[in-house]
Amino acid sequence: MTGSEGTEPFRVDDPDATPSARTGLPVVVIGAGPVGLAAAAHLLDRGLEPLVLEAGPQVGANIAQWRHVRLFSPWCLALDPVSVRLLGAAGWTGPDPSTLPTGADLLDQYLQPLAAMPALTSRIRLHSRVVAIARRDLDKVRTPGRERLPFAVRVRVGSGRLHDLEARAVIDASGTWTQPNPLGASGLPALGEADARRHITYGLPDVLGRDRARFAGLRVLVVGAGHSAATSLLALAELERQAPATQIVWAVPRPPRDPWSARAAPGPTSSPPEAGLPPTLPRWSTPATSSWSAAFASARSAWPVTALCSMATRSTATTTSPTRAVDGSRPTR
């Protein structure tokens, strides 16, 4: 079959087409964030059995920690089409696709209603942290038949006992919120970073709300150049207006100089490697801060939401044809 734009639909051969030790086992999905819940909806849509293991006390447990932040993508990019179809069949009407939700909106208006759907709710286990994954009956030296064996998934339930589950496959949708970038170069913590841990806030603190006292009237160094840094800088600029003793210093990484370049291109203009700096430390520079606040704010308001939504609708149209309905039967079209 050829897709409407002349492209071949994506096909995957089922490794379990013939009965094996994995037959009948669930596909374990790690995490009940937006990606984990979408994965579970897609598995059901294909007649497969999901089991979603969520470490936190609720679905979207990571998002619950940044409820106060507005997303940079509109609803049309935050909603999964198969999940929307499942919700729509139960009478759910979605939000305005062109508006930007907050983390709280995403939870309250989408993830929690989705997780409450009878088809999903019985397949989600809260307070269940996956701590290890292996192949059943294999160890570090034995490997024959690995691809036909089930996965062994070790789960800590609450703060208590460990349990082992068997799974046909495992989808890791555990997100990145609890694995922030360290301050050092090469993905390693900077020397001394662990010792300074109590002075460092990773992720996105609620600068104007819950975490205000931690920053008001103090000198705050923001490290990073992504959306989280921009969001924190805007909040700190507002805090500086409310509490003028607050000072903001912003450091963005710049690529380290190649220490070998002096050797590769010797000559009077080549610079020596930076003396005295251990090679694992990133080089930070501080941009001029006079106008970044206004620049960020206007960039955010100028994002072409309508264009993004129409792109999302186009790509949705070519990717949503189901192979199986939720009850396992094949669709009629």
- For residue 56, state whether it binds ligand FAD (rule: CB under 6 A): yes
Which CB sits closer to ligand FAD, 65 or 320? 65
User: Of 175, 182, 256, 322, which lies in the binding site for ligand FAD, with binding defined by CB under 6 A?
Assistant: 175
Q: What gap in Å lies between CA 256 and CA 192, rounded to an integer?
A: 20
Which CB sits closer to ligand FAD, 35 or 152? 35
Rounded least distance, CB 279 to ligand FAD, Å: 30
Which CB sits closer to ligand FAD, 154 or 324? 154
- For residue 63, state whether it binds ligand FAD (rule: CB under 6 A): yes
Stretch that binds ligand FAD, among 34-42, 141-149, 264-272, 288-296 (CB under 6 A): 34-42
Residues 107-166 that bind ligand FAD (CB under 6 A): 129-130
Q: What is the 3-state secondary structure (H, E, C) of the chain?
A: CCCCCCCCCCCCCCCCCCCCCCCCCCEEEECCCHHHHHHHHHHHHCCCCEEEECCCCCCCCCHHHHCCCECCCCHHHHCCHHHHHHHHCCCCCCCCCCCCCEHHHHHHHHHHHHHCCHHHHCCEECCEEEEEEEECCCCCCCCCCHHHCCEEEEEEECCCCEEEEEECEEEECCCCCCCCCCCCHHHCCCCCCCCCHHHCCCCCCCCCCCCHHHCCCCEEEEECCCHHHHHHHHHHHHHHHHCCCCEEEEEEEECCCCCCHHHHCCCCCCCCCCCCCCCCCCEEECCCCCCHHHHHHHHHHCCCHHHHHHHHHHHHHCCCCCCCCCCCCCCCC
- For residue 55, state whether it binds ligand FAD (rule: CB under 6 A): yes
User: Of 16, 20, 21, 35, which lies in the binding site for ligand FAD, with binding defined by CB under 6 A?
Assistant: 35
Residue span 2-31 as binding mask against ligand FAD, x where in contact by CB under 6 A, dash where not: ----------------------------xx
Which CB sits closer to ligand FAD, 207 or 323? 207
- For residue 42, state whether it binds ligand FAD (rule: CB under 6 A): no
User: Of 48, 67, 73, 296, which lies in the binding site for ligand FAD, with binding defined by CB under 6 A?
Assistant: 73
What's the chain's Rg over C-alpha atoms?
Answer: 24
User: Of 61, 120, 165, 167, which lies in the binding site for ligand FAD, with binding defined by CB under 6 A?
Assistant: 61
- For residue 68, state whether it binds ligand FAD (rule: CB under 6 A): no
Name the nearest CA neighbour of 174 among 32, 79, 42. 32
User: Of 22, 28, 36, 117, which lies in the binding site for ligand FAD, with binding defined by CB under 6 A?
Assistant: 36
Residues 262-281 that bind ligand FAD (CB under 6 A): none
Stretch that binds ligand FAD, among 14-22, 50-58, 139-147, 188-196 (CB under 6 A): 50-58
* C-beta separation of 229 from 223 below 8 A: yes
Total residues contacting ligand FAD by CB under 6 A comes to 28
Residues 177-206 that bind ligand FAD (CB under 6 A): 177, 204
Q: What gap in Å lies between CA 118 and CA 140, rounded to an integer?
A: 40
Question: What does the binding site for ligand FAD look like in residue numbers (CB under 6 A)?
Answer: 30-36, 53-56, 60-63, 66, 69, 71-73, 129-130, 173-175, 177, 204, 228
